[in-house]
Amino acid sequence: MAEDRVVISWESPVWAHIDRPDLIDGYLRYAYEWWQQGQYRKERREARARLVDKKGYFLAGFLPRVRRYLGQRGIEVVLKGPDFVVPATALTGLAGITYREDQKRALQDILMAGRGVHQAPTGSGKTLLIAGLVASVGARSLVIVHTTALLTQTVAELSRWNKAVGSVGAGEWQLEPVTVAMRQTLAARIKDGTLDGDFSDRWGLVIVDEAHHVNALGGDYAGILGRVGAPLRVGFTATLPKTEEGLMAMEGLLGPPVGRTSYEELEKIDVLAKPRIRFYRVPENPKLRETRGSYAQVYDVVVVKNRRRNMLIVEKAAEQIEAGRSVLILVERIEHGERLMELLDAKAPGAFTFLQGSTEEGVRDGEKRAFELKKRMGVVATRVWSEGVNIRSVDVIVNAVGGESEIATIQRAGRGMRATDTKKEVLILDFLDRNHRWMADHSMSRICTYSENGWM
């Protein structure tokens, strides 16, 4: 075979094969690190993991990247086998819906590509894009979510355009022609062998909401997407993974980036409310700086059980309630929510309720409706409301969690970023905590995140 010619064949919608893997072995890799015990202390190690095996197989999502790389080196690529990505270029409308220009652009980009990840802010109308894709592609579709709240919300919104048949088991709903399922449910059914029929060719389109969770080449998402034979693959996310492994996993399993909708353009047309950030300094306690232990142990002392910090959160939340604004306080741990509720019941009796994973779904849905109608003015919530849940009416988000994750910080702020006729801004209350070096570093990380997004 000529030195400047390679053959790549489609093996399936998931896998591709190259006859000369040595040409891309050094290129198709990602860096990772780990800590290993040395003679005196743990030492940092680095390596580069390969994404093409010795026989030449690699995830088909890398095909555009590989073809581009080889083309830049002057190597001709001969593509053989059936093209498993046959994009649909015609955008089908939904009854009663006029797409915004950014939505038309996003849908056309995705339909032209056939697979990939679209980045769009929380509140930009991803469920409408999902419905538009299903209608345009015209194939049986699978929508994967990762929380019960997202499942309920997605089914409710898609049911406006697709007839809902009903639940087909815990964590899975059947519409027409869409199945909406939780990632955990699909993974469990793969493991216990209870899936009916051939899982590999049941769907023509698979869509992953909050696709930044597809961030590893092992685990549930890799297991599911490695078995789903859907040739058309789409992910939606507000934030991309921050590790090289995460980015490569997302690309290999779903496809490369296929467009981005920015906060700025949606703010200009009043789709998103503009975040306004307000930081408060946590009262300092020199004794807390000496707290020792793991991060979880330090967090328990410096954040969860720090009464002065909790009193500051309650005071600022109560001020907003008194001003007639609805308030969502986000926490990480159940105990933290319980401690805040004890203080809130004394400071603002009856204004707040506490929602967590064990709260019955009917109760959560009822409280969400009450909150949206402002019959309930305050909610303290764990992760059940930290991501993916639409709450248009919330005026104030209180980040009681802290933390350093850019993705989590943006997702928490996103709970209040949907604009309404009466809401053009959302107030984000956060806390500058210098009671431990970890909390101080995390506070600065969040300030950087807010600044980089143009919110400060």
Paired sense of beta strands 172-175 and 178-182, if any: antiparallel
Is residue 167 predicted with pLDDT exceeding 80? no
The residues near 350 (Cβ < 8 Å, ≥ 6 apart) are none
DSSP string spanning 216-282?
A: -SSSHHHHHHTT---SEEEEEESS--SSHHHHHHHHHHT-SEEEE--HHHHHHTTSBPEEEEEEEEP
Q: Where are the beta strands (DSSP E) in 107-163?
A: 115-119, 141-145
For the stretch 141-163, pLDDT in tens is 999 998 888 888 888 888 888 77
Mean pLDDT in residue range 42-48? 84
Is residue 196 predicted with pLDDT exceeding 70? no
Mean pLDDT in residue range 404-414? 88
Of 156-165, 315-324, 423-432, the least confident? 156-165
Higher pLDDT, 44 or 306: 306
Read off the pLDDT band of 28 (50, 70, 90).
very high
Q: Give the angle 201-203-207 at the CA atoms, nearest 5°.
A: 130
- pLDDT for position 411: 85
Q: In this structure, are residues 169 and 196 in contact, taking their beta carbons and an 8 Å threshold?
A: no
- Provide the mean pLDDT of the chain: 89
Both tokens of residue 287? 């004794």
Q: Which CATH number fits domain 101-265: 3.40.50.300, 3.40.50.850, 3.20.20.10, 3.40.190.170?
A: 3.40.50.300
Of 78-82, 194-198, 374-378, 438-442, the least confident? 194-198
Q: In this structure, are residues 252 and 62 in contact, taking their beta carbons and an 8 Å threshold?
A: yes
For the stretch 176-191, pLDDT in tens is 788 999 999 999 888 8
Angstrom distance (rounded) from CA 374 to CA 422: 13
Every domain of the chain with CATH number 3.40.50.300 lies at 101-265, 273-452
Is residue 2 predicted with pLDDT exceeding 60? no
Read off the pLDDT band of 195 (50, 70, 90).
low
Our measurement of the distance from residue 230's CA atom to the centroid of its chain's CA atoms, rounded to an integer in Å, reads 21
- pLDDT for position 1: 47
> Is CATH 3.30.780.20 correct for 5-80?
yes
Is residue 258 predicted with pLDDT exceeding 90? yes
Is residue 80 predicted with pLDDT exceeding 60? yes
Read off the pLDDT band of 199 (50, 70, 90).
low
Every domain of the chain with CATH number 3.30.780.20 lies at 5-80
User: With 0-12 CB in 10 A as exposed, 13-18 as middle and 19+ as buried, what is 123?
Assistant: buried
- pLDDT for position 124: 86
The residues near 190 (Cβ < 8 Å, ≥ 6 apart) are 199, 223, 224, 227
Q: Which CATH architecture has domain 273-452?
A: 3-Layer(aba) Sandwich (3.40)
